[in-house]
Amino acid sequence: MRVSQSLIPFAIIALFLSFVNAYDPSPLQDFCVAIDDLKGVFVNGRFCKDPKRVDAKDFFFSGLNVPGNTNNQVGSNVTTVNVDQIPGLNTMGISLVRIDYAPHGQNPPHTHPRGSEILVLVEGTLYVGFVSSNQDNNRLFAKVLHPGDVFVFPIGMIHFQVNVGKIPAVAFAGLSSQNAGVITIANTVFGSNPPIYPELLARAFQLDASVVKELQAKFGSI
């Protein structure tokens, strides 16, 4: 069937809009507060609470003023405020985190599969950056941030932050998803369950298989 030339612009627009709407869906009503009453059924997102039962606590969270415990292997702590903490974020396409860093602590290389991130530093000094895709030749985009500085990490890009100062650092970040997800590279590659074949990783990372097994033992216990 021949497609009318006059319809081609509309088809292009429709295709463009399909990509524009490829992330969290826009609300179809004033709000859609998440509810867990239904068991054994899964949806892309969360079920909605009856609007007549919604109240202010469904849109509220308290505690981002409290520093996170950075006494761990990486010297940082992420306090997440997403749809699990604020059910009213369901369908809103946004969430928030507080990140605390001990001196020389880091938020190690990771990626958010479902959201971009915009970070503002409020205390301390951070070295932050992300690496672009293979198609862009894996370029590093990095800056040293001071209080009041803002940096953006595009969706899906591997990124990191490290405290390069002598005092604790604190940052807040917004994400363009109610549940952006996080994939920490080292934990995922070397700490998977069950483990990835050491020989595969040895060749991929150009390491001896014994080194890979040592890394798997380390990250598998985290």
Cβ-based burial of 141 (10 A; exposed 0-12, middle 13-18, buried ≥19): middle
Q: Are residues 172 and 215 in the same domain?
A: no
Domain co-membership, 168 together with 202? no
Does the global pTM surpass 0.85?
A: no
110 has binding-site annotation: yes
In-domain check, residue 42: no
Query: What CATH number did the domain enclosing 89 receive?
Result: 2.60.120.10
User: pLDDT tens digits, residue range 21-48?
Assistant: 455 666 656 778 888 766 666 677 788 8
pLDDT digits (tens, 9 = 90+) for 153-180: 999 999 999 999 999 999 999 999 999 9
DSSP tag of 184: E
Q: Are residues 121 and 199 in the same domain?
A: no
Does the annotation list 123 as a binding residue?
no
The predicted pLDDT at position 19 comes to 47
Same domain for 156 and 129: yes
State pLDDT tens for residues 46-61: 888 999 999 999 999 9
214 in a labelled binding site: no
Whether 9 maps to a domain, the answer reads no
Which pLDDT score, from 0 to 100, does residue 121 have? 98
Residue 215 and residue 163 in one domain: no
Q: What are phi and psi of 189, to 5 degrees?
A: -75, -45
Q: Say if residue 107 carries a ligand binding annotation.
A: yes
At residue 155, the pLDDT reads 95
In a domain, 146, yes or no: yes
127 and 203 inside one domain: no
What is the pLDDT at residue 45?
78
Determine contact, residues 171/107, Cβ cutoff 8 Å: no
Query: Is residue 200 located within the same domain as residue 123?
Result: no
Partner residues linked to 152 by β-bridges: 118
Mean pLDDT rounded to a whole number for the chain: 88
Tell me: do 102 and 136 sit in the same domain. Answer: yes
Query: Do 170 and 202 fall within a single domain?
Result: no
Number of C-beta neighbours around residue 153 at 10 A = 24
* Lowest-confidence pick of 6-15, 87-96, 99-108, 115-124: 6-15
- The whole-number average pLDDT for the span 195-200 is 96
The answer to whether position 40 is within a domain reads: no
Confirm whether 12 is domain-assigned.
no
Cβ 86 vs Cβ 56: under 8 Å: no
- Asked if the structure places residue 183 within a domain, the reply is no
**What is the pLDDT, as a whole number, of residue 46?**
85
124 lies in the same domain as 210: no
pLDDT of residue 9: 52
Per-residue pLDDT for 3 more than 50?
no
Q: Is the pLDDT score of 20 beyond 50?
A: no
- % of the chain with per-residue pLDDT over 70: 83
Residue 20 resides in a domain: no
146 is in an annotated binding site: no
- Give the range of the structural domain holding residue 159, as residue numbers without chain letter: 57-107+114-176
One domain for residues 103 and 199: no
Give burial (CB, 10 Å; 0-12/13-18/19+) of 88.
buried
Check residue 195 and give its pLDDT.
95
Helix, strand, coil shares, percent, the chain, to 5: 25, 25, 50
Number of domains in the chain: 2
Same domain, 66 and 91: yes
36 lies in some domain: no
pLDDT band at 4 (very low <50, low <70, confident <90, very high): low
**pLDDT over 60 (residue 18):** no
